[in-house]
Structures are given as structure tokens and as C-alpha cells.
Amino acid sequence: MAKAIKNIDQKSIWDDARQMLAKAEKDGVETAWDRLEQQSPHCQFGESGVCCRICTMGPCRVSKKAPRGVCGADADVIVARNFGRFVAGGSAGHSDHGRDCIEALYDVAHGKTKDYTIKDEDKLRRIAAELGIAEQGRETLEVAKDLAEEFYANYGSRRDEVSFLCRVPQKRKDIWHNLGMTPRGVDREIAEMMHRTHMGCDNDAVNTMVHSARTCLADAWAGSMIATEISDILFGTPSPRMSQANLGVIKEDQVNILVHGHNPIVSEKIVEAVNDPELIALAKQKGASGINVAGLCCTGNELMMRQGIPMAGNHLMTELAIVTGAVELIVVDYQCIMPSLVTVGNCYHTKMVTTADKAKFTGAEHVKFEMTNGMAQARKVVQMAIARFALRDKKRVQIPKGPVPMMTGFSNEALLAALGGTLTPLIEAIKAGKVRGAVAIVGCNNPKYQQDYCNVNLARELIKRDILVLVTGCVTTAAGKANLLMPESISQAGPGLQEICGSLGIPPVLHMGSCVDNARIIQLAAMLANELGVDISDLPLAGSSPEWYSEKAAAIGTYCVASGIYTHLGHPPNITGSELVTNLALKGLDELVGACFLIEPDPFKAAEHIDQRIKAKRLGLGLPA
């Protein structure tokens, strides 16, 4: 892995980031890039996954000289156990977010809250029917009660498989069944992963890796999918709309509030509160021309998909957004929020507010959001932001100019609507080779890379080859800033994609949501496979997370592969200390589940490999390459 990057231009491809990196230096603000330098070089034992801290006979780090830990575990066992716990962490993140969504649906259904309602009743009924819950002739809230119970049961230990396996092609389910990979319950698989990786339990690396995949499949087809579906039910199913991205969305003359994290339950209320005429009047009284809210990371994606709220930036922009000196308040829920934001905020007048008891930050103010007080708490947070406006030091404000326009809102429902109600036009385009395949580029930033260089260049290379690109998570902002999320950007695509996207009036790169919304993408893959009567692994699809960093991203990559989708990563997880586990990831899985990982830091080479894979899949289906 590359060493820490020192030159500002090499830290990011973006002008807004570079301006703020220079300002951070001038203002004496430390960023992730500085701390990466302090942490480099990284511990080789840790990086290759051969450091075990699972018991106090250790910690053990195995090497040629000392190939086994005190208990006798070798590198294969240690690496597999570490990986299992790593993806269990990621699966827990998405799935616990999903659980919070179920609690919200439950409270709405039982009339325990007036702050939240059901916005998409059709979707509620459609999903209820899909899962075998009677809905015709019944009150909406009665159906919602049953759906909440059904979803809760997906977290337990009493089922043979999670509910949404009804969406999975039979061939895929058979593969999972035969491998012992069928996800039974979200909490069960995660707890079992922790159990298996206790000292003296699962000491067969392949067996541990199979359960890792099972845990991630529970994330995909239950935890994340439930989070997405309930978010649509409660806040509306996204449809195409326009928005904007980059730090230029921060407004000099307004009170600026940034929302950061993942779950729309908090941020949706903040958006409502900033539109409250009373609060706007209060802001004006304090000398601001209004109240502006902008998103960061996945909370930003959720709000952008449904409300068109602009995106200030992705993961590595979160510190830099505060460096503008124009952010009054940053309100967060959970996941991907750097603890450094409190410190950066203290260098300016920026207040940080936490909202979830499971994600408190020392130095931040805690305003606990519950289902019954969401609106009141949101108003309180907005008032706090307004009060900070007077503290802003105008001499230290510098906001990069010119936000970039982008199109968002491509839920599967919206995509189907754009296609005229059926997948047929897309399938015909795939058969004709006009759309040769589709690749989901998802995930994060990581200061070990030039920010967004791989994310953007991979997308550009793929659309040139008539491969439709779907983006979620932090790649969204990258694609948006690169002008790839506009219908006009078809000029950068190959002729086939130009024709198809042009006739539909959609961009060649479609924004499908946040990280949990990768569930939309695997659902789409399953729909295509079912329509064609094949397995997901037969389709000309791939996934990619070029600049990933998080446990969640590793869980997503793993469930993609286990679902039959070839998946590219810019760098490997910490598994290279085991040849067995590494070979399984890069090759062996192909025989087991019909897909494997590709590791390639260069986006141009990655595009070539993905293209080859798509060609092979097309030929396998009897289609022209």
C-alpha cells in the first residue's frame, strides 16, 4: 500500500478539496492525511491480518520464525478469524441501522409517534404482499404492524431463512443451501461469527470464510434490504430529481447545517425544521439570509435521493467542509463520522451535535433523538445552529465556488418507471449489446489514495465501453463532481449506452442511494436473473469499491461475491498473510459461488479486467461479447 501523500495536489483530484487542504495548513488544522503520515508505515502484521488478539495467552503475531500462536493457530486460521470479525462488524452496522428502521415502522404502526408517518403506502402494501402478509381490505397501520413483526423476526433465531430470500433465484439459493451459506437471521449469523472466532472454536479457515459470507448475506438480503425498504415506506421512494454537489453548496450568507451519518430518521426531521417559517425568521433576525442544509456521506445520499438536498461532500470532505469556516453546526447519527470532526470544529465556531446513544463523541453536545421527540429535537438543533451564526469569524471564511449539478433518485421503482414499467427494454438493450453490462461502483474514500481518482476514472472507463454504471455511497459525490450524473454526460459514453440512455433521458451513471441501498442493486440483479431464468452469476455484472476503507464496505464486497457478482477492490482486506484465504478470495470462491474478488489499484487496469469478465458472461449467455 502506498505511503502517506504529502503534496496537496496528490491528495485529491478536486479543486474544492485542494483549496481547503491549503487553508487547513494555514489555519493549523490537522486532517486525516496528516494523521496517516503519523501512522505510516503501518504494522505489517496487522496489515496482513496475522496479528491475533482474541485471547490473553497472546497477543500473537505469526511469522516464518514463529508460525503458530500460543494456542497453535496458524496464519490461515488467524486471518480467517480476523476477517470474519471484520465483516461481522460491517454487517452489524448496516443491520443495526435496519433495526432502528423497524423500530420506527413499529412505532408509527402502533400510533406511538406523530413525528413520523407512512409516506409510501403502495410500497408498504406491495412488500407486505410479497412477504405473504394479507393487505387487501386492511387498514394501512394494521398491515404495517404485521410487516414490522415480520422484519423483527428476520433478526432472530427461529427461521430457516430471511424473508427476502423470496427475491433470490432458485439456483442461487441452492448454492447457498449446499454450502451451508443460507442466511437465517441477522443477529444469529453475527453472534455465531463471534462465537466461531472465539479461541478454540472454528479452526478451519475455509469453514470460517463460508460463515463470513453467510453473515454478509444476512446483511444484504435482510439488514440492509430492510433498512432500504422501510426508509422508502416512511420517507418516500426516491424518484429522479436534480441536486448539486461539492463544497460550493455551503452558503456564505446563510446559517449552514451539515447532516452526516446514515439513517434518515434524524436528518429528515432536520430538513423539515429548516423549512419552518418561524425558524427562518429567527435566522433572519440574527443577520442570516436563511438556513441552508447540506449532506455528507450516506445521510447526504438519503436526503439527496428523496429531497434533492445538496451534497457537501463524501468521506474525505467531512473535515474539509468545516475548514470553510462557514459551518455553524454538524449533526450526526452514526457510522463513518471521524472523531476528529469535534477537534476541527473547535478550530472554528462549528458545533457538533450527536443524536444516537450508541454514537456519542467526547466534546460534542448530545441531543437524543427518539421516535417520539424527533421534530422537537430537530427544532432545537436548528436553533442551536442559528445561535452559532453570530460567532462566525468572517475573516476566516473561504467557500469554494461553483457547485456541480447532478441527477439523483434512481430507486428500482424509478428505473422501472423510466423503462416504461418493465425490465424488457433493458434486457433487449443488453441482448443487443447496446448496454453490454452493468457495474455498481460503491463505497468510500481512503487517504491512502488520491481522493476519488480511482472512483471517477473507473466510472469513465466503463461507460466508454457501453457498461452502465450504478453508484451509491461516497462514490456518488465523486461521480457527481466529475459531471457523470447528468443526462448530458452520455457524450462520454460509448455509442450503445449513448443511444439507450439518450432515449430514456437518463445519465450513463445512475445514483441509486446510500450504502445500505446496495440492497437495491442486488435486488435489481436478482430481478434480471429471474426474468432471464438464470442465476445472478450468469449475468454480465460486476461490483467495485476502488477506495474502500470500512468494515461495512468489506461486508458489501463479500455479499456481492456470495450473491454471484464479481467484485473489484482497489486494495485487499487484511488477509494477505494467508495464502489459503487470499487464494480463496481471488479464485476459489469462483468455483464455490460463481464469483470472486479482483484486487487492482489502477482503475484503467481494473476496467480492463471487468470488461473481460463481462465479455465472458455475455458469451456464456450466448450474446455477442
Footprint of ligand SF4 (CB under 6 A): 52-55, 57-60, 69-71, 73, 78, 199
Quote the least distance from Cβ 241 to ligand XCC, whole Å. Answer: 21
List the single partner that 298 binds among ligand SF4, ligand XCC, none, CB under 5 to 8 Å by kind: ligand XCC
Quote the least distance from Cβ 313 to ligand XCC, whole Å. Answer: 10
Residue closer to ligand XCC by CB (options 49, 447) is: 447
CA distance 246 to 15: 10
Residue closer to ligand XCC by CB (options 113, 574) is: 574
Residue closer to ligand XCC by CB (options 454, 580) is: 454
List the single partner that 54 binds among ligand SF4, ligand XCC, none, CB under 5 to 8 Å by kind: ligand SF4
Residue closer to ligand XCC by CB (options 386, 522) is: 522
Cell numbers at residue 87, please? 465483516
In the chain, how many H helices and how many E strands?
27, 16
CA distance 343 to 352: 10
Q: Amino acid identity, residue 225?
A: M
Residue closer to ligand SF4 by CB (options 1, 43) is: 43
Distances (CA, A) of 375 to 178, 233, 346, 387: 49, 19, 27, 19
Q: Which helix (H) or strand (E) holds 609?
A: helix 603-620
Strand partners, 543: 440, 567
Please spell the DSSP secondary structure of 146-206, one letter per residue: HHHHHHHHTTSSS-SS-GGGGGS-HHHHHHHHHHT-----HHHHHHHHHHHTSTTS---HH
List the single partner that 552 binds among ligand SF4, ligand XCC, none, CB under 5 to 8 Å by kind: ligand XCC
Quote the least distance from Cβ 429 to ligand XCC, whole Å. Answer: 29
List the single partner that 52 binds among ligand XCC, ligand SF4, none, CB under 5 to 8 Å by kind: ligand SF4
Q: Amino acid identity, residue 465?
A: R
Distances (CA, A) of 215 to 153, 367, 426, 472: 16, 33, 32, 21
Query: CB of 253 within 8 A of CB of 284?
Result: no
3-state secondary structure of 208: helix
Residue closer to ligand SF4 by CB (options 423, 581) is: 581
Residue closer to ligand SF4 by CB (options 57, 619) is: 57
The residue ranges that bind ligand XCC (CB under 6 A) are 297-298, 314-315, 336, 443-444, 473-474, 514-515, 550, 552-553
- Give pairs for 395-398: CB < 8 Å, separation 24+: 396/27, 396/325, 396/348, 397/252, 397/324, 397/325, 397/326, 398/19, 398/20, 398/23, 398/324, 398/325
List the single partner that 55 binds among ligand SF4, ligand XCC, none, CB under 5 to 8 Å by kind: ligand SF4
Query: CB of 98 within 8 A of CB of 222?
Result: yes
Residue closer to ligand XCC by CB (options 118, 249) is: 249
Residue closer to ligand XCC by CB (options 168, 336) is: 336
Quote the least distance from Cβ 49 to ligand SF4, whole Å. Answer: 12
Residue closer to ligand SF4 by CB (options 85, 123) is: 85
List the single partner that 553 binds among ligand XCC, ligand SF4, none, CB under 5 to 8 Å by kind: ligand XCC
How many CB atoms neighbour CB 433 within 10 A? Answer: 15
Quote the least distance from Cβ 258 to ligand XCC, whole Å. Answer: 14
List the single partner that 70 binds among ligand XCC, ligand SF4, none, CB under 5 to 8 Å by kind: ligand SF4
HSE on the CB side for 201, CA within 13 Å? 15
Quote the least distance from Cβ 219 to ligand XCC, whole Å. Answer: 12
List the single partner that 73 binds among ligand SF4, ligand XCC, none, CB under 5 to 8 Å by kind: ligand SF4
List the single partner that 57 binds among ligand SF4, ligand XCC, none, CB under 5 to 8 Å by kind: ligand SF4
Query: Which residue in 203, 178, 155 sits closest to 54, CA to CA?
Result: 203
CA distance 440 to 410: 13
List the single partner that 165 binds among ligand XCC, ligand SF4, none, CB under 5 to 8 Å by kind: none
